[in-house]
Amino acid sequence: MVNTADSVSIFAEGTFEEQIQELVVYIARNRSEEERTAFIAPFQAAVTTKDGQKPFDQDEERRKKVFGMVLAEVTALGEGNDKEAEGFFNLVFAHLLNLYSPESSEANEYVQSLLTTLSTPSPNRLSITYRILYCNRLSNLFNVIPRASPLRLAVYRTLLSLATANDNLAALQIEQDEVKKWLSEWNIPEEEKAAFLKSLPMRMQQLAKSLPASSSEAKSAAVDLIATALRLPNIFDFDPLFKLDAIIAVKDNELFSLLQIFLNSELPEFRAWIQSHPTVAEKYNLDVTQLERKIRLLTLASLGFKHVGLNLSYTDIAEALQVEPSDVEKWVIDVIRAGLLWGKLSQTAQSLHISRATPRTFEREQWEILEKRLLAWKSGLAGVLDVVANAKRLTGHLPAQQPQQLAPATA
């Protein structure tokens, strides 16, 4: 049963039988008279209480059976107007969560089925679909589900996918404080919370793209996007944000300069920024310890990118990260787990051999580093060809001649 202390109740008039009749008539609305009569007949028989049977209000199993028959026929919004469609689904939700516990497998199965039905509306019926699924002022599916139920996450994910697919994220009015509150309430594993949070920057990025950069809505979305990207522990790629007009439009916001540090700077610049902006972290719900971890990992990744194919000593890494040499291995393991760097530690040599690393951005400096590597690779390959040619000459397979040379690189 629904816990009325933490969900919105739906009050419907009439007996169970009358309400089932109302639902069935709505489903059959687009059928011919003959088809409608044939369609309704099994439901009329199912809700008829025969001699010796308990009344419906005392027979939960019969109510579940009849309700299951109705749900099997719910495959679209129906032919009613928006108000009628909303009333129909609100009544469906009321029966569903009165017959089944939100934690039950049956409730999960039925909710997922309804979400599939509601996730493919025609473009001209998007607004009513949003209202059916989620609206703070209406008794819809999201609000009728108890606050702690994992089903709320399923409903909101459907909403996000629907709004994203139709370029209509602004309709959801995503707010940081509300998302934070939901995550504190939902009884879901931490990895699911992390996955949900990780999807939000992409959605908010699309929202920022969809609005005029100078609009107050776009600026608000841009600031929220920056704060969310900084806050999430597994977001390290900040370069795409600087390609959004809405982000550039908030360059005077205090978070913009912090975002620039995460794109281009290192730990000393971060600490100086925090010291000069003592209230900003609390204002935007940012964890300074978490931010410092991120900037250290990004610093190590950038250092690794400059030394791909080379060895980095523990001393150099410790100096860059401002940690003790004894802590270096822990940070290397963390940066590898984050997917920012690949390499091999040598405890004997106290060094890290860098095989691959991810740059924070790819501009002139990164291109110059890449050019040097290509030239070194070219030189190495020319040496290999010289050795092969000399070996063939010595064995008599080639006449004495000048070793093969690589063609000069073109710009």
Q: What is the Cα–Cα distance from 281 to 287, expressed in whole angstroms?
A: 7
Give the residue from 291, 216, 204 showing the smallest Cα distance to 244: 204
Using a cut of 0.85, tell me whether the model's pTM lies above it.
Answer: no
Position of tokens 């370029």? Answer: 167
Burial state string for 46-70 with b = 16 or more CB within 10 A and e = fewer than 16? ebeeeeeeeebeeeeebbeebbeeb
| Residue 98 · residue 2 · CB < 8 Å | yes
Q: What is the Cα–Cα distance from 317 to 329, expressed in whole angstroms?
A: 10
pLDDT at 47: 83
User: What single letter denotes the amino acid at residue 30?
Assistant: N
Burial classification of residue 349, based on how many CB atoms lie within 10 Å of its CB (0-12 exposed, 13-18 middle, 19 or more buried): exposed
| Residue 215 · residue 247 · CB < 8 Å | no
Instruction: Give me Rg for the CA atoms of the chain.
Output: 31
The alpha carbon of residue 327 and the mean position of all alpha carbons in its chain are separated, in whole angstroms, by: 32
129 by DSSP, 3-state: which?
helix
User: Could you say which residues of the chain have pLDDT below 70?
Assistant: 1-13, 121-128, 130-131, 133-139, 164, 166-176, 194, 197-211, 362-380, 382-383, 396-411
| Residue 203 · residue 164 · CB < 8 Å | yes
